[in-house]
Amino acid sequence: MDKLIEERIFKILMVVSLGIVVGSLFMVIAVIIWNGAPSLSISMITQTPKGGYYLGKEGGILNAIMGSLYLAFGSVILAFIISLPAALSLQKDYIGKTRLAYYIRLSLDVLWGTPSIVYGAFGFIVMLYFGMRASLLGGIIVLTILQLPIMIRSMEEVIKLVPYELKEASYTLGATRFETTFGVVMRQALPGIFTAVILAFGRGIGDAASVLFTAGYTDSLPRSLLDPVASLPLAVFFQLGTPFPEVQRRAYASALILLLIVLTLSIVSRYLSRKFTKNIIR
Partner 1 sequence: MNIRKLKDAFAGRLMLAAALFSSLIVLLMAIILYLRSRPILEVKTLNDLLLGSIWMPFQGKFGFYPFIMGTLYVTLLAMVIAVPLSILSSIYLAEYAHENVRTKVLPVIDLLAGIPPVVYGVWGVLAVVPAISYIAPVIGNLGIPFLTVKGYSTGYSLLAGGIVLAIMVFPIIISISEQVLRAVPFDIKEASLSLGATRWQTIKHAVIRIAYPGIAAAIILGFSRAIGETMAVLMVVGNVPNIPSSVFDSAYPLTALIANNYGEMMSIPLYDSALLLAALILMLVILFFTVAARLILIRIERSMAYG
CA angle 244, 248, 250 (to 5 degrees): 125
Q: For the CB of residue 94, give the shortest distance to partner 1 in the complex, in Å.
A: 6
Say whether residue 262 binds partner 1 (CB under 8 A).
Answer: yes
Say how many Å lie between the first and final Cα of the chain, rounded. 46
Residue closer to partner 1 by CB (options 4, 223) is 4
Q: Among residues 39, 220, 242, 266, which is the contact residue for partner 1, using CB under 8 A?
A: 266
Rounded to whole angstroms, how far apart are CA atoms 3 and 11? 12
Say whether residue 161 binds partner 1 (CB under 8 A).
Answer: no
Residue closer to partner 1 by CB (options 53, 252) is 252
Q: Are 202 and 265 contacting, i.e. CB atoms less than 8 angstroms apart?
A: yes
Say whether residue 17 binds partner 1 (CB under 8 A).
Answer: yes
The window from 48-56, 158-166, 219-227, 250-258 that contacts partner 1 (CB under 8 A) reads 250-258
Q: For the CB of residue 26, give the shortest distance to partner 1 in the complex, in Å.
A: 9
Residue closer to partner 1 by CB (options 46, 107) is 107
Rounded to whole angstroms, how far apart are CA atoms 126 and 274? 41
Q: Are 7 and 13 contacting, i.e. CB atoms less than 8 angstroms apart?
A: no
Residue closer to partner 1 by CB (options 8, 50) is 8
Q: Are 49 and 59 contacting, i.e. CB atoms less than 8 angstroms apart?
A: yes
Residue closer to partner 1 by CB (options 126, 166) is 126
Residue closer to partner 1 by CB (options 3, 223) is 3
Q: Which of residues 22-41 bind partner 1 (CB under 8 A)?
A: 22, 24-25, 27-28, 31-32, 35
Residue closer to partner 1 by CB (options 196, 212) is 212
Q: For the CB of residue 258, give the shortest distance to partner 1 in the complex, in Å.
A: 6
Say whether residue 164 binds partner 1 (CB under 8 A).
Answer: no
* Residue 217: its H or E element: none
Q: Which of residues 97-156 bind partner 1 (CB under 8 A)?
A: 101, 103-122, 124-126, 145, 148-149, 152
Rounded to whole angstroms, how far apart are CA atoms 258 and 230? 13
Q: Which of residues 59-88 bind partner 1 (CB under 8 A)?
A: 82-83, 85-88
Rounded to whole angstroms, how far apart are CA atoms 272 and 274? 5
Rounded to whole angstroms, how far apart are CA atoms 135 and 138? 5
> Percentages helix, strand, coil for the chain, rounded to the nearest 5?
75, 0, 25
The window from 40-48, 51-59, 184-192, 253-261 that contacts partner 1 (CB under 8 A) reads 253-261
Q: How many Cβ atoms from other residues are within 10 Å of residue 172's Cβ?
A: 8
Say whether residue 3 binds partner 1 (CB under 8 A).
Answer: yes
Nearest to 259, CA basis, from 232, 221, 239 = 232
